[in-house]
Amino acid sequence: MILKIDNVTKNFGGVTAIKETSFSVAPKEIFGLIGPNGAGKTTMFNIITGNYVPTSGEVIFRNEAISGLKPHHIVRKGIARTFQNIRLFSSMSVLDNILIGFDFQARYGFLESIVRFPRFITEERRIKARAMEILDYFGMSALAHEKAVDLSYGQQRKVEIARALATNPDLLLLDEPAAGMNPSETEELGEIIKKARVDFDLTVLLIEHDMKFVNQLCDKVLVLDYGKTIFEGKPADAIQDPEVIAAYLGDFHND
């Protein structure tokens, strides 16, 4: 198991966002975290990435307890994420956005950058070439010098995934990657995630409301409702499960 959530609870004052939740994600799996609005999905992501410290329980990544570590340390251990609301660096170009993902991988010091030491130049070339490769992989190298916020919504979502991949993760957390996309963009995104899993050697944990998308993509799902696990198993079985249907009723009708 690459990721193990061990009996995690998270309280915000009186609100219990996550209640005694446990699950495990196997290497190279695409694992879906689903549930109605406010179920605690994003909170679970924030616990895994170190933004929140769990009230109790442990997050174990590759046999190491990581809860309590700072987010930027957890990234370096190999967990990257995207955000539910796109959060690109708005003043920066697409390329510079990707390069932020290489920040901790560029091996030169502060003084070396001031005097333009040779290692600065070779390292900048190296990470720029790698960033361009990633952009190329997403078919966006022509947009490298555009401002990230000038791109279309679907493209911005892809830049966010590309930026997360730049940190060279083993586990990629995607918070509603298809939100706001049209059906053809959603389909393309599904293909990219499947392909990237192989090409980048990834395990994927994703939150998504689009059940068709989840069904096509995920090997396994966990359904949360009010912070509690109500189902764990195959996505096809989840939509048959009476408890899941009951929790989701509103959402299914709305779609």
Partner 1 sequence: MNTLMLKKEQWLKISFVAITVWFIWFSNSHFDEYTIRILNNIAIFIILAVSYNLINGVTGQFSLEPNGFVAIGAYVAALLLTSPEAKQYQYAIVDPYPFVLTLHANFVVALLLGGAFAATLAACLSFPVFRVRGDYLAIVTLGFGFIIKILAINVPEVTNGSLGINDIPEFSNLYWTGGIAMIAVIVVLNIINSKFGRAMKAVRDDEDAATAMGVNTFKAKTLAFCTSAFFEGVGGGLLAALLTSISPDLFDFFFTFQLLIIIVLGGLGSTTGAIIGTVLVMGGSEWMRFLDEPMNLLGYETTAMPGMRMVVFSLGLILIMLFAREGVMGKRELTDLLKWRRKGGK
Interface residues with partner 1 (CB under 8 A) are 49, 51, 70-72, 75-76, 80-81, 83, 87-92, 96, 99-104, 106, 108, 110, 113-116, 120-121, 124-125, 127-129, 163-164, 166-167
Among 247, 244, 226, 225, smallest CA distance to 235 is for: 244
When asked if residue 22 is in the footprint of Mg ion (CB under 5 A), the reply is no
φ and ψ of 214, to 5 deg: -60, -45
Residue numbers 40-59 binding ligand ATP by CB under 6 A: 40-43
The distance of closest approach from Cβ of residue 116 to ligand ATP in the complex, given in angstroms and rounded to an integer, is 43
Q: Minimum distance between the CB of residue 99 and partner 1, rounded to whole angstroms?
A: 6
Could you say which residues in the range 15-34 bind ligand ATP, by CB under 6 A? 15, 17
Packing angle, helices 94-101 and 153-166, rounded to 10: 30
Residue 176, phi-psi category: left (phi > 0), alpha (psi -120 to 50), beta (remainder): left
Q: Which is nearer to Mg ion, 44 or 151 (CB)?
A: 44
Closest separation in Å from C-beta 50 to ligand ATP? 14
Nearest to 231 by CA among 34, 45, 41, 38: 34
Number of residues that bind ligand ATP (CB under 6 A): 12
Structure tokens at 21: 């939740």
Both tokens of 211, joined, read 């059940």
* 42 in contact with Mg ion (CB under 5 A): yes
Question: Does the protein bind ligand ATP through residue 190 (CB under 6 A)?
Answer: no
Nearer to ligand ATP, 15 or 142 (CB): 15
Q: Can residue 153 be called a binding residue for ligand ATP (CB under 6 A)?
A: no
35 is in the binding site of which of Mg ion, ligand ATP, partner 1, none (Cβ under 5 to 8 A by kind)?
Answer: ligand ATP
Which residue number is nearest to Mg ion in terms of Cβ?
A: 42
Tokens 């895994």 locate to: 48
Q: Find which of partner 1, Mg ion, ligand ATP, none residue 167 binds, CB within 5 to 8 Å per kind.
A: partner 1
Largest CA distance in the chain: 66
Phi, psi (deg, nearest 5) at residue 145: -100, 5
> Using CA atoms, how far apart are residues 218 and 233, in angstroms rounded to an integer?
10
Q: Are 165 and 101 in contact (CB under 8 A)?
A: yes
